Every structure is written in structure tokens, then in C-alpha cells.
Structure 1
């Protein structure tokens, strides 16, 4: 007969958790704070910044007109780029070798040449074509237009930026279309839907989750790229600032004015991109993160949480 061990088990000692120290975090935080303090000190003490001139010209009429021209140029050029990008992407994915080759050649050319060169080319287009006329080929002409009257500085800027953007947007759209499963296209065609309707109702709505983020990035990049239009004598935001500081020689504060306006518009576009991504991200497998407003409301609700009332005791149940 075996003996039964009646000794009580020994309780193990409590584990003493020692937090891991991160001296590198403290050092990096101290460096960042010192640099931030130096930056703030420079902003408030450097007389060359000339904040009085900044405040004087921030809402200047010329600056605001340049800002409106920049926004117009951005919207029109991006519209041309998006529409042209969709068309080029469909041509690239076409089974017709002529269409796919023509789209590839267009993308190859416009991605291979700098956008500044394209802007200067459109600005000097009269040196290539002279006048534009309508008539019988190799025969008499009926109507003739001066190229400079048609391709103004604004039109030259739109053509240079919009046609160049179409080449980049075509790759963005093509990547979004290829991200959609081909089985959905085959199923829609089996139901009798035409190819164009399948693309419009099935493929593109799902591809928008992939298309929207780089498109927002391209829009912000286009906003800043419009500053190159100043090289073809188009008065946008940067050119408006240049015209002012060329007259009063206050270069630094006027450049700060222009930069702050670019940052403001870029911030607004970033917010719009954020909510567009949330809209087209519905139905995806991952859960959408809360918006900043939802986080703020949730934090306030948890801070002012009302404690629920205590349940009343039943005298008969206590007996």
C-alpha cells in the first residue's frame, strides 16, 4: 500500500516585474524638444522673417487671385488627368493591339519627359505649327486661327499639366482595375451585362479602394506642381508672390505667405481624401478606424460617464 503525501504544496514566490528601460526614447525626445524650442525661438526672434509684412500680404488681392488661379488650374488639370487616365488604362487593358500599343506609347513619352519641358513646349507651340487652318487637305484653306490666340498661357499650363497627369493616372487606374477579381467580371458577363456596364457598375466601384489613395496623393502633388506654370508667365500663387517681392524686395515673408497658403489647401485636400477613403472602404474585410470626431465624442462620453443606479433590495428575498 502506497503512502499518501499529505504535505501542503509550497506557494511559488510572486514574480517581480521589472519594467524595461528605454534610455534611447528619452534621449531622442530630449533632442526633439530642444530642436522644437530652437525653431520656436527662431520664429519669434529672427527679424528677417518680418511677420508684419506676412500679415500685410497674407490676404492681399494679388495673392488671393493667384490662389484662385492655382485652384482652377489644379481642378481642370486633374479632371483631364483622371478622365484621360481612365481612357488610357482601358486602352492598355484592351485586347486590341493597336489600342494597347498607342496607350503604351503615350504613357512612355509623357512619363519620359519632364513636365517643365512639356509646359515650355506648349507655350512655344506657335514655333512648331504657326497657324491652325481648316480646309481641303493639300488644297485651299477656309478658316485660319493664330495659335497664340488659342493656346494662351492658361491653356498651355492646362495642356502641359493635364496631359502629363493622364499618363500617371492611367497606371493608378490600371492597378485598381487589376486588383478586382476576374471572376466577378466573368459572372457579370454570364448574366448578360455588356463590357462597358460591367466596368462601370462592377469593376470600378471596387477598384476605387485602390485608386483613391494614390489619386489623392496625385491631386496634392498637382497643387504644388502648378507652381511650374510661373515659367510660362501664368500668374498663379507663386507668380503672384514673385510679382510682389520683386517690387518691394521682401522675398522671405512673401515666400512664407505662399507656403502657408499651399499648406492650408493641402490640409483641406488631405481631409477630403481621408473621408473618400472611408466611403469607398465600406464593405471591406477590415474594420474602418473611427474618425477624429468620433474619437473626440467617445473620449468625452467616457469622461462624463454616469454611474448606473444601484438595484433596490427586495425585503422578502433577504429573509
Structure 2
């Protein structure tokens, strides 16, 4: 994320600089060691079209981090960099968000954002094309009912990260959580092979949610579903143009704010399917840094 998201991971615990100071410890004035120098003043980002990249660029400006550079990349490259750095106890700054499997695998914490550049907690919303309720009332009702927690999503993300295919991970979770699936499909009559198109961004969170929705629509409600992996712009455009029926991957109000402003009148917002979503800068819990402001002048 969609968005769809910046995590600041500064790991230098136990590392000595040239002056013999342990990275992360204070100097004689009690201030943090030069984190910026340790990471070459770089924040390792994800794809340039992501809303979290725009927010991070604004954070660099608002917090006057003029020496810092935001590096474009991908979600996979970001998590690979994080994994390598933590294993080697080396400092690194990356972009990230919750829900994400890395928060289950690593002990991380968000840096305080006193200027509220990343806003308050976000939500992931379900979008439907105009006319979806009339054309596919069964699918519309299910999508309107669909809501779950970050912990539930995290089970699927972790399974995928550990090697399961997204399809298998989603199936296993749904088959093990029939009470939840029954809530979503209650009183909905199955159809006979009607076709439906979903779109999503290639974030771990949206891969998990879209595969769960696809599996339930097919196995419980009789739909034939095509899931299209696209960038955020085409995802919103496809729903707004009616080329795609729905998406469960819209991060609001911040991450996809520009798309909502552009397409709000051309699609239906079915509301949140997950609450308490968050983006921001984060560090491993063993780091003594606590706020984005601590980076100023680093």
C-alpha cells in the first residue's frame, strides 16, 4: 500500500563506530549517535507511485531532513533489505506499514510523528463499480459484509511469507475460520458461474485479502473470479471506468487520497473492510531513537 505506507528501521545495536561509541548510544551530550551517517542518510522506499512514498517525501520536507534521500524500489526489495540488516545488526531505514508480516517476524516500533504527516490510523476500504449492486447483488452483499482484523490477515501473510502460495494460504485460512466466512455469506444465495473481476495492488496485505475474497466468492457463492494485479492508479481507474467490478484494497483517507478525490463520484465506496491500519516511520524496538524529529540534523 496500496497501497498501499514508511518504516524507519535503524539497527546498530552493538556496533562500534570509529570513535568506539556503540551505535544507538548517546554521545557526551546525551544525544543519539549519528544515525544519518550510519545509513548514508537514505530511506529505502517502495514503488514510486505508492502513497506512502508521497507521505515520506512530505515528512522529509516538514521535519527539515534536508540531508536525507528517499530511495525508490519495491516492497520485496524493501523487506529483503530489512531482513539482511536485522540479521547483521546493521542500521537501515525502510518504508513500511501495518498490517504487514514483518511486524510478526521482527520486533518493531513506530517512530512518533508529532507533525501528523502520516495522519491518524487509516482504513482499508472496499470499492465497487457503479451498477455492481444491480448486476451482482449477491457479490455486492458479500463485499459489503466483508470485514476482518489485521491479526486475521497477518495469519495469511505469514503463511505466504513462509512459502505457501497465496491461493493455498487463503484457502487454509478460510477453511479454518468457517464462522467468520459464514458471517460474510449469511443469507446470500449462491449463483451459477457468473463472472466477476477484482483488482488489487501487489502489497502483501492486498494479496492476502484479495485471495480470501476470491476463494469465498468461488467456493461459497458460485462465482468465477478473475483477480488482476495492477498499480494503484489502474486499480482505481478500472473500478471507476467499470472495467473491474470491485477492489478490497483502497487505503483511506491518506494513502489513496488523490485517487479518491479524482474518482469519488464514479464508484461506490462500500466502507472499511479493516480498521486501525497505519503507516509511518518505524524502528526495531532495541533502538533508542523514538521520534522522526530525532533524525533532524543527523
TM-score range normalised by the length of the shorter chain:
under 0.3
Please identify which structure carries the higher helix content: 1
More strand by share: 2
Structure of greater Rg: 1
TM-score (norm 1): 0.24
